[in-house]
Amino acid sequence: MLLVVDAGNTNIVFAVHDGAVWRGSWRISTNDQRTSDEYAVWVLGLIERAGLTGKNIQRAIIGTVVPAALYHLRRFCRDWLSIEPLIANRELTWGYPLLVDAPEEVGVDRRLNGLAAQTMFGGPLIVVDFGTATTFDVVDGDGAYCGGAIAPGVNLSLEALHQAAARLPRISVGRPSAAIGRSTTVAMRSGLYWGYVGMVEGIVSRITLEMVGQPKVIATGGLAPLFSEGTDLFDHVVPELTLEGLRLLAARNSSPKPTSAPGQSRAFSDSELSN
């Protein structure tokens, strides 16, 4: 079985795939100070509740946009699962080109979304990811990644609004029953929700004008189902698209050989800590 670890700016998701289906996925808040032992207590307990054990895991892959979290995640795989994990980076075989000015600047989450979406649906397409940032990733008809756009995420904008305006409360994200808010809370929720729907529709429209062919539009991220209720823009809604990208990337690449005996700790080199 394959353990997939998607470490984002807000949450880290652990998921197990048995070669046919996902057997479970679990989410924890991102904290780059959390140790490998803390991960083990939490993750292995949840894996056991799914009817599995750590011994069922033969491979692992980690994708992260938080470099400081990598050390303890990799140490967890080595010390508690006796596995040398794949790390989603430029050294792996991705199977599609990046037609951008600075490939090294493309976040691994964006590359994984592009890989999963073009494998599942074919290009041309646009992936809209409702994460810490709201990202728009473009894949052309030949399957090449062509760049996109990055906007502030929904929760980030919500927190900035609360922090910058003393009299505005902190609210949750939700679809309002009406566009005209008759209270401050409802007015904020309307502005946030319909503002983001309008932004997404507008950016996708502008991107489409620059593409060859009519793209399919894919929504992903935890808030994708909520925002898909307010527009008919999306052809597919796949909340866990990044996990699927990690699974596909693992299938394209061989696992590295363990550099220590099972259960034996080893030191990290400077190059490993910087990857």
Residue 109 marked as a ligand binder:
yes
Residue 108 marked as a ligand binder:
yes
User: Distance between CA atoms of 47 and 45, rounded to whole angstroms?
Assistant: 5
Residue 208 marked as a ligand binder:
no
Residue 110 marked as a ligand binder:
yes
User: Distance between CA atoms of 248 and 129, rounded to whole angstroms?
Assistant: 18
Residue 89 marked as a ligand binder:
no
Residue 144 marked as a ligand binder:
no
Dihedral Cα 97, 98, 99, 103, nearest 10 deg:
-150
Give the SS3 label for residue 244.
helix
User: Distance between CA atoms of 141 and 9, rounded to whole angstroms?
Assistant: 30
Residue 135 marked as a ligand binder:
no
The residue from 109, 140, 142, 232 that is catalytic is 109
Residue 119 marked as a ligand binder:
no
User: Distance between CA atoms of 255 and 116, rounded to whole angstroms?
Assistant: 20
Q: Is 18 considered catalytic here?
A: no
Residue 8 marked as a ligand binder:
yes
Q: Give the ranges where the chain is alpha helix by DSSP (H).
A: 36-49, 67-81, 108-121, 154-164, 184-209, 224-228, 241-252, 270-274
| Own/partner long-range contacts of 267-271 (Cβ < 8 Å, ≥24 apart) | 268/71, 268/74
Candidates 73, 81, 80, 65; CA nearest to 2 is: 81
Residues annotated within the binding site are: 6-13, 107-110, 129, 132, 184
Binding-site residue set for substrate: 107-110, 184
Annotated binding site for ATP: 6-13, 132
Which residues does the annotation place in the binding site for K(+)? 129
Catalytic machinery residues = 109
